[in-house]
């Protein structure tokens, strides 16, 4: 059994990587919640770009962009 130790992409904490995610468990949970919020926001405000979504929701554009790149959101 081998462990893959990595630094969290968001908070920088060291964690054991279990899947392809690049976030520690705490940040993964936060991101899951944010993804759900963004999905709802995009449904209610269709046609907004990454900047408008991040400003409208007061979250980091970097995070919105990451979700777009992972095809969780459409740009």
- Choose one: 25-33, 40-48, 49-57, 64-72; the region binding Zn ion (CB under 5 A): 25-33
24 touches Zn ion (CB under 5 A):
yes
Q: What phi and psi values does residue 7 have, to the nearest 5 degrees?
A: -95, 135
CA distance readout (Å), 34 to 2, 37, 41, 67 = 31, 5, 10, 10
63 touches Zn ion (CB under 5 A):
no
Q: Which of 5, 14, 17, 27 binds Zn ion (CB under 5 A)?
A: 27
Residues at the site binding Zn ion, with contacts judged by CB under 5 A: 8, 10-11, 13, 24, 27
């Amino acid at each position: 059994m081998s462990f893959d130790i990595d630094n969290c992409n968001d908070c920088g904490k060291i964690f054991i990587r279990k899947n392809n995610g690049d976030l520690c468990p705490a940040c993964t949970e936060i991101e899951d919640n944010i993804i759900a919020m963004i999905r709802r926001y995009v449904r209610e405000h269709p046609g907004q770009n990454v900047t408008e979504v991040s400003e409208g929701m007061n979250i980091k554009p970097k995070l919105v962009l990451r979700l777009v790149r992972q095809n969780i959101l459409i740009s």
